[in-house]
Structure 1
Amino acid sequence: MKSVEQHISDLLGLVAVPEPTELDLLRAHGTVLAEPVVSPVSLPGFDNSSMDGYAVHAADLADASAAHPVRLPVVADIPAGDASPTAIRPGLCARIMTGAPMPEGADAVVPVEWTDGGTVEVSVDRPARPGSFVRRRGEDVHEGATVLGAGVRVGAGEMGVLAAVGRRSVPVRPRPRVVVLSTGEELVEPGRPLGPGQIYESNSHMLAAAARDEGCEVYRHGFVGDDPAAVWDTLEGLLVRADVVVTTGGVSMGAYDVVKEVLSTKGTVEFTQVAMQPGKPQGFGTIGPDATPILTLPGNPVSAFVSFHLFVRPVLRRLRGLPPTPLPSVRARLATEVDSPEGRRSYLRAVLSEPTAQDPVPTVAPAVRQGSHQLSALADANALLVVPEEAVALAAGDLAEVLVLPRY
């Protein structure tokens, strides 16, 4: 059996970072920037008011108070978007709206709440400092500044920045197209009646959702039976829409492990055993005329889930233009004793608790049901408790490595 780290390395060798493509802003949402974004403008592009109020000379209000308000003639109205030049001499003021350009000569804004709201003459009941409620040109972004770096995922905040600096499109790494396929004669689509010996197909739904959570375009084909010709015909037909294919089931040592039977003689696919539990049987390689990467995962649901997060996730991250980093890891105190087979690294579904003021070390409690077919604990699990290969047990109170599962 090979190590987890070696298998990850082998899988990453199948893929490379894709070439950039230019996408309109909304289509770029969720993708990763391929190049830094430099602002061609300053933000704000001009001095403007941050409040509805009055543009003033601050010196005119030095002695203003509630008992002795200062009265100033209002000589202009300046709405947001006003492009006409306006100048304010000392002793005068202009009514101004939020976002409107500051008039020449004015150095502060008095909020309307500090006044009587006059339109011909206004009474101001407190002093203002120079610069009060004024947004200065370039105080957010200077022209020529890098506002977003290469490798940044375009989320809502990034989208706002891109639009604010005038970008209509950006060069990004395209979303990987992931095809998910399950195999097994016993499988039935959810919602249909079950026959004897049949089970509802859950793996492709789970893996498709996980790939979509990782920012990929996902096509869930569903499942195919155990006929080798049908499996290969299905795979060949799916390659046209795939940057990577993920299958589940049919990779172990059974008489009807059809994926292994079909792919052992196709492309560069090889099947191996990884020193881990769950998820020991794995396969990987390329198929088809374009050497499309294919990752074949075990059919047990928990094995497929763990295999996705350990093996498929780094591959998808590289295809997105992100570092193929593993899941984040923390050290936590075990709530109960756990067992593990010698020579294999165990990944146990677990609940990681937040540290407290009384105990800064988090606590981790393994799920009661750890069978590779037992799905029920997955929804509650937020972590994978790692038991190393050389250990057959960890005691309650021991510190252990814990991989934190992503939450979306």
Structure 2
Amino acid sequence: MQDISLEKAVAMLLAQVSRVREAEEVPLMAALGRRLAEDYSAPFDNPPFDRSPLDGYTFASEATAGVDKEHPVKLTIIGEECAGQYFDQPVPLGAAVRIMTGGAIPAGCDCVVRQEDVTAAGDTLYVPQELQPHENYCFAGEDIRKGTLLAKAGTRLTAAHLGALASMGLATVKVIRKVRIAIASTGDELLQPGQPLAPGKIYNSNLYSLGGRLRELGFEPEVIGILPDDVTAAAAEIAKWQDKVDLFLTTGGVSVGKKDIMHGVVAEIGKRLFWRVCMKPGGPAIAYTFGKTLGIALSGNPFAAYATFELLARPVLVELSGEEKLAVRQAQAVLTDAFPKASKGRRFIRAYYENGKVRLPQQHASGSLFSVVGCNAFVSIPAGTDPLPPGTKVDIILL
């Protein structure tokens, strides 16, 4: 199928993918921002024991009945407990244990008095006030009760979630695996940044703009690099990723030139879905499948690759990830600058959107990438549109 509308192309792509639901177990510290694959409930109370909220002394409140400043009660100090320790013998009536914040309340005690409110001399404690049962006392499960739902499946984990799960002793959690994406560029004319610039060569910008954009959207692509203008070699490299990634993106090799190899690559490794979308720039895009993996081959022109990624690949990523917030938004705005060209076919031009208005850069060529810097929208121009004067109300896509 070829020469199809953008909407038809997107529908065909979405028909090939579904939301990733496979789970993987990861260390808790690595789970920030990931979505849970299952519900997590508290396996025990937290705190798991009654504890002291302050530094002081713990004892049976019954021993202070009728006590006042003139007639303090004398208790015998029989031990000391810091947080992390455990006083494992019952405390009889008339005895006390010195306790620090977070320490477990020993058996036989039901209150805590502040260290500043009492006097200690040797092993004798003078308590000049009456205390009530459970005064200055934290109960087991005060923070989280056993069985409490900590987080439901699908929850995106925040730092607070990590803390709550860690308090339950969980070192790992099951999360939805990440969407797997591989990216590559084709072209013998390409050099990687850092190599000496040779005659007839250009540096590979597409791999960086595409990889950077994927990371901006929250994905972590596998960067393959540059594929040669050789059908067999390129096909062999791409085929290695069959069923290992959900989406394989390439730039270049999609038109009708001598070295537009992606037609041959697709014929060798998979099945073509469509070629050529009725839009400018980036119309010669190819979509195909190999195994369970979806491939989209974008134009090699820098802005064309950038635009078709947003318009073709981004909806696929939304479907795979379930992240609706990543979907492009449509709006209307007023042009502050003229667009001097008639648009025989459907066209998308880069733009700067702010407060209901869009400004246009001076450069609109498909091969120009620098003019994309700072752009946050595309102006969508229908086929058969005359040049657009300032003040024209236009449809825009917010990126």
TM-score (norm 1): 0.73
Comparing 90-99 with 165-174, greater Cα deviation is found at 90-99
Deviation at 1:36? 1.8
Q: Secondary structure at the match of 1:45?
A: coil
Structure 1 contact 7–274 (Cα < 8 Å) conserved: yes
1:366-404 per-position Cα deviation (integer Å, ceiling 9, x unaligned):
5554543333355544x3244464876485696975525
1:315-349 per-position Cα deviation (integer Å, ceiling 9, x unaligned):
345444x3455436486866834648476363525
2:236 to 225, 233, 238: 233
Structure 1 contact 20–173 (Cα < 8 Å) conserved: yes
Specify whether residues 193 and 158 from structure 1 end up closer, same or farther in structure 2 by C-alpha distance, changes over 3 A only.
same
- Counterparts of 1:246 and 1:255 in 2: how far apart (Å)? 21
- The aligned amino acid for 1:384 is A
Deviation at 1:182? 0.4
- Counterparts of 2:171 and 2:326 in 1: how far apart (Å)? 34
Structure 1 contact 95–119 (Cα < 8 Å) conserved: no
Point out the structure with max Rg over C-alpha: 2
Matched, 1:374 2:368: yes
Specify whether residues 159 and 372 from structure 1 end up closer, same or farther in structure 2 by C-alpha distance, changes over 3 A only.
farther
Deviation at 1:262? 3.3
Superposition pairs for residues 340-355 of structure 1, below 5 Å? 341=343, 344=346, 346=348, 348-350=350-352
Structure 2 contact 53–101 (Cα < 8 Å) conserved: yes
Specify whether residues 96 and 230 from structure 1 end up closer, same or farther in structure 2 by C-alpha distance, changes over 3 A only.
same
The percent identity for this pair of structures is 29
Deviation at 1:248? 1.0
Specify whether residues 218 and 62 from structure 1 end up closer, same or farther in structure 2 by C-alpha distance, changes over 3 A only.
farther
- Counterparts of 1:59 and 1:4 in 2: how far apart (Å)? 82
Superposition pairs for residues 6-405 of structure 1, below 5 Å? 6-18=8-20, 20-26=22-28, 31-53=34-56, 75=77, 76-85=79-88, 94-103=97-106, 105-107=109-111, 110=114, 135-154=138-157, 156-212=159-215, 216=219, 218-239=221-242, 241-263=244-266, 266-287=269-290, 290-320=291-321, 322-323=322-323, 326-327=326-327, 329=329, 336-337=336-337, 339=339, 341=343, 344=346, 346=348, 348-350=350-352, 367=361, 369-378=363-372, 380-381=374-375, 383-387=376-380, 389=382, 393=388, 403-404=398-399
- Counterparts of 1:347 and 1:315 in 2: how far apart (Å)? 22
- Counterparts of 2:359 and 2:54 in 1: how far apart (Å)? 52
Could you list the runs of 5+ residues in structure 1 that have no partner in the other structure? 353-360
Deviation at 1:185? 2.2
Q: Secondary structure at the match of 1:23?
A: strand
Structure 2 contact 67–73 (Cα < 8 Å) conserved: no
Specify whether residues 81 and 277 from structure 1 end up closer, same or farther in structure 2 by C-alpha distance, changes over 3 A only.
farther
TM-score (norm 2): 0.74
Comparing 124-133 with 294-303, greater Cα deviation is found at 124-133
Deviation at 1:62? 12
- Counterparts of 1:189 and 1:272 in 2: how far apart (Å)? 28
Deviation at 1:190? 0.9
Could you list the runs of 5+ residues in structure 2 that have no partner in the other structure? none
Specify whether residues 328 and 159 from structure 1 end up closer, same or farther in structure 2 by C-alpha distance, changes over 3 A only.
farther
Comparing 149-158 with 82-91, greater Cα deviation is found at 82-91
Structure 1 contact 351–380 (Cα < 8 Å) conserved: no
Specify whether residues 93 and 318 from structure 1 end up closer, same or farther in structure 2 by C-alpha distance, changes over 3 A only.
farther
Q: Secondary structure at the match of 2:222?
A: strand
Q: Secondary structure at the match of 1:251?
A: coil
Number of residue pairs the alignment of both structures matches = 387
- Counterparts of 1:36 and 1:395 in 2: how far apart (Å)? 54
Comparing 252-261 with 53-62, greater Cα deviation is found at 53-62
1:77-108 per-position Cα deviation (integer Å, ceiling 9, x unaligned):
33112333577799986543333224564456
Specify whether residues 18 and 332 from structure 1 end up closer, same or farther in structure 2 by C-alpha distance, changes over 3 A only.
closer
- The aligned amino acid for 2:41 is V
Q: CA RMSD in A?
A: 4.6
